């Protein structure tokens, strides 16, 4: 059973770069046709998709964050990572990593997240 | 940013049926499949429904999903106290080339 675990600093200073890693266990990050995604949730608010990466290195990002986001993958370590630059207090949130199933069929694009990591709180403050 | 609209809250007594709506557009729900996630307090979201109406293994059949045009719905029949949670719809958005979530609905069991 695949499990995901986020790790990284819980406190980042304004204008710096937020860096998180998601470690995949119980299966290879390269197996199957999955994308690997980052999602965040500010306290008391809804979910926001940050972006995703395929093991080939192909990425898609949320247009509202695209200029500041980089997602990368390290298949040798079974990990993928998030970097968010020039952070402000508005970037304070719980950050989740998740596996995304994604394919096209007669119903259109089919895209869901399962499983999810437990989430890690990142606070942007001086 | 949320482009899928949900009512902020819904409630019911144990045993009742509760329905949550999710309104989108032709470039998201109208073109692609809808998923639903349940988020219990203090926990990560959990996949509840995928591909409009499919339940992952382990999800009770009290939960059902449907889609019509640019809207989708999640129904919880036989409401139980453990169903008290936040529920989010989601879909791929073609014009943004991005995944979008709904605004979320808090379900309260009275």
Q: Which residues of B29-67 are buried (b: 16+ CB within 10 A; e: fewer)?
A: bebbbbbbbbbeeeebbbbbbbbbbebeeebeeebbbeb
Q: Nearest-CA residue of chain B relative to A51? A: B98
What would the mean pLDDT of A21-45 be, rounded to a whole number? 95
Mean pLDDT of chain A: 96
Q: Taking all residues of chain B, what is their mean pLDDT, rounded to a whole number?
A: 96
Q: Which of B56, B96, B99 lies closest to A114 in CB terms?
A: B56
Q: What is the rounded distance in angstroms from the CA atom of residue A61 to the CA atom of residue B93?
A: 12
Residue for token pair 């499949």: B33
Q: Establish if A103 touches chain B: CB-CB under 8 angstroms.
A: no
What is the tens place of the pLDDT at every residue in B59-84? 999 999 999 999 999 999 999 999 99
Q: Would you state the pLDDT for residue B90?
A: 98
State whether B98 and A63 contact (CB < 8 Å). yes
Q: What is the 3-state secondary structure (H, E, C) of chain B?
A: CCCEECCCEEEECCCCCEEEEEECCCCCCCCCCEEEEEECCCCCCEEEEECCCECCCCCCCCEEEEEECCEEEEEECCCCHHHCEEEEEEEEECCCCEEEEECCEEEEEC
pLDDT of amino acid A108: 87
Is B101 near chain A, with CB under 8 Å? yes
Look at B98 and A46 and tell me if their CB atoms are within 8 Å: no
Give the pLDDT band (50/70/90) at residue A107: confident
- Cβ atoms of A20 and A82 within 8 Å: the answer is yes
Q: Across residues A66-90, what is the average pLDDT?
A: 97
Bigger pLDDT: B3 vs A16? A16
Residue B17, pLDDT above cutoff 90: yes
Closest Cβ opposite residue B44 in set A48, A112, A116 = A116
Q: Which residues on chain B are in Cβ contact (under 8 Å) with A62?
A: 96, 98
What sign has the CA pseudo-torsion A124, B3, B9, B11? negative
Is the pLDDT confidence value at A87 over 70? yes
Q: What is the pLDDT of residue A70?
A: 98
- Cβ of B33 within 8 Å of Cβ of A117? The answer is no
pLDDT of residue A114: 95
Instruction: With cut-offs at 50, 70 and 90, classify the pLDDT of residue B2.
Output: low
CB contact under 8 A, B96 and A63: yes
Dist. CA A55–CA B56, nearest whole Å: 25
Please say whether the beta carbons of A97 and A114 come within 8 A: no
The tens digit of pLDDT for each residue in A43-56 reads 999 999 999 999 88
Identify the band that residue B1 occupies on the pLDDT scale cut at 50, 70 and 90. low
């Amino acid at each position: 059973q695949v499990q995901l675990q986020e790790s990284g600093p819980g406190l980042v200073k304004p204008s710096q770069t937020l860096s998180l890693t998601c470690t995949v266990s119980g299966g290879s990050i390269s197996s199957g046709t999955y994308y690997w995604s980052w999602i965040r949730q500010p306290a008391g608010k809804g979910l926001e998709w940050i972006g995703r990466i395929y093991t080939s290195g192909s990425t898609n990002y949320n247009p509202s964050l695209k200029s500041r986001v980089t997602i990368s993958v390290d298949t040798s370590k079974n990990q993928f990572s998030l970097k968010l630059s020039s952070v402000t207090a508005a970037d304070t949130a719980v950050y989740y990593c998740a596996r995304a199933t994604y394919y096209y069929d007669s119903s259109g694009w089919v895209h869901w997240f399962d499983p999810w990591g437990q989430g890690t709180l990142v606070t942007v403050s001086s | 940013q949320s482009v899928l609209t949900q009512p902020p809250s819904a409630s019911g007594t144990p045993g009742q049926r509760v329905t949550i709506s999710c309104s989108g557009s032709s470039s998201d729900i109208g073109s692609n499949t809808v998923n639903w996630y349940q988020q219990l307090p203090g926990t990560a979201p959990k996949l509840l429904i995928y591909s409009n109406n499919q339940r992952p293994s382990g999800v009770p059949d009290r939960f059902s999903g449907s889609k019509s045009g640019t809207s989708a719905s999640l129904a919880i029949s036989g409401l139980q106290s453990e169903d008290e949670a936040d529920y989010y719809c989601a879909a791929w958005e073609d014009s943004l080339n991005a995944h979008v979530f709904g605004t979320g609905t808090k379900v309260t069991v009275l």
